[in-house]
Structure 1
Amino acid sequence: MHQQIKQNVPAVTGVLTLLSLGFVFGAALQIIPSTVFPHVSGLIAVIPHLNAGISLTAIALISAGWYFIRNDAVEKHQYAMVTSFGLFVAFLGLYLYRVTLEGPSPFLGPDVIKTYVYLPLLAIHILLAIVCIPLLYYVLLLALTRPVSELYATNHRRVARIAAPLWLISFFLGVVVYGLLHVVY
């Protein structure tokens, strides 16, 4: 299996991307029935706060991973980036659970803030998250299927230079969206 994935990283990336985006859009558009998940009392209310904490932790780890690789600390880089990906999966799982059961959170602030601040920030956050998904799968699959010595001969570094800053910006904007939805308004 490992060898098949190694030889087909672009195809596996495409399949994982389609599955992930299918779940995200299925939940956001409320195509996935809410009866699929059990309703855990009290969990729904804390998910936005948990996800904000997860996002801030991921921002710190992605930044650390970037620092580590620039200083040739490959093992620390690997740990930081795989852990941040795990946090992303946790974030997404919690988000999908909440959205499937309750739908997207309404913005309760003034219409002018909604139109000129909230919706543009949300749109950029969502767009970057969508763009990041295949980039993250691709660099992660390359990293997980090759020894470090082989990784330098792949597109891992080139794609990661695009993926990491976009991922950071997406997480940061997600925290800003959280602040607008759950703190400010």
Structure 2
Amino acid sequence: MQTTIRRRLPLVTGLLTVVSLVAVVAAVRQAIPDALLPPVPHSILAAIPHLNALLSAAAIVTIIAGWRSIQADDVDRHRRLMLTSLGLFLGFLALYLLRVAIEGPTSFGGPEWLKLWVYYPILGVHMLLAIVCIPLVYHVLLLGLTHAPAELSETLHPRLGRIAATLWLISFSLGIVVYLMLYVLPL
């Protein structure tokens, strides 16, 4: 299986990206049939944004630690931390999709000028980076999982990894700003 994925890396990256984006669009448009969604108490749905902010903050920490680990040439720690970052992201994504599929996207309740000049630009950049990160993260992950550590320097893994990690950090950080604007800051 590893050899098959390695030979078809662009195809697998593309398929994973398309599946991920279709899932996000279906959830945001509330196009997932109710029969496929589990019953979730309102208290759990209300807690998801707060939990997702914690998952995002934890992912920021693990991405930075993973970046530092590879700079220190600690490949095993780097791998563990980046897989942990991916796990945190997947947990975030599953909870986000569940909540949005059931309740729909949260509307910004602040003043119109703040929505237009601050909230929407931050949200737009966050969303754009999240979309751009999906294929980058998948590609870097698949390279890391299908190549021996000694081979990775001969692949796009180091260069794309730096780009993916940087964009991922910015996206997670902006996601926390969006969370603060929606749920925490008094407007």
TM-score, normalization by structure 1: 0.97
* 1:80 to partner: Cα distance: 0.8
- Of residues 37-46 and 47-56 in structure 1, the stretch that sits farther from structure 2 once superposed is 37-46
* 1:144 to partner: Cα distance: 0.6
CA distance in 1, matches of 2:27, 2:35: 12
* 1:76 to partner: Cα distance: 0.9
Superimposed CA distance per residue, residues 14-41 of structure 1 (whole angstroms, 9 cap, x where no aligned partner): 0000000000011112222334211221
Superimposed CA distance per residue, residues 42-87 of structure 1 (whole angstroms, 9 cap, x where no aligned partner): 2101000000000000000001111111111111111111100110
8 Å Cα contact 1:33-1:100 kept in structure 2:
no
User: Alignment length, in residue pairs?
Assistant: 185
Gaps of 5+ in 2: none
SS at match of 2:159: helix
Q: 1:35 to 1:108 in 2, by over 3 A?
A: farther
Q: Write the letter of the residue equivalent to 1:90.
A: G
* 1:139 to partner: Cα distance: 0.3
CA distance in 2, matches of 1:174, 1:145: 30
Aligned to 1:40: 40
CA distance in 2, matches of 1:34, 1:114: 31
Q: After TM superposition, list the pairs within 5 Å mapping 1:98-177 onto structure 2.
A: 98-177=99-178
SS at match of 2:162: helix
CA distance in 1, matches of 2:40, 2:103: 12
- Of residues 34-43 and 95-104 in structure 1, the stretch that sits farther from structure 2 once superposed is 34-43
CA distance in 2, matches of 1:148, 1:43: 41
CA distance in 1, matches of 2:169, 2:13: 20
Q: Write the letter of the residue equivalent to 1:14.
A: G
Superimposed CA distance per residue, residues 122-173 of structure 1 (whole angstroms, 9 cap, x where no aligned partner): 0000000000000000000000111101111111011111111000000000
Aligned to 1:16: 16
Aligned to 1:89: 90
Superimposed CA distance per residue, residues 92-141 of structure 1 (whole angstroms, 9 cap, x where no aligned partner): 00000000000000111111111111111000000000000000000000
* 1:2 to partner: Cα distance: 1.6
Runs of 4+ aligned residues of structure 1 deviating over 2 Å after TM superposition are none
TM-score, normalization by structure 2: 0.96
8 Å Cα contact 1:59-1:171 kept in structure 2:
yes
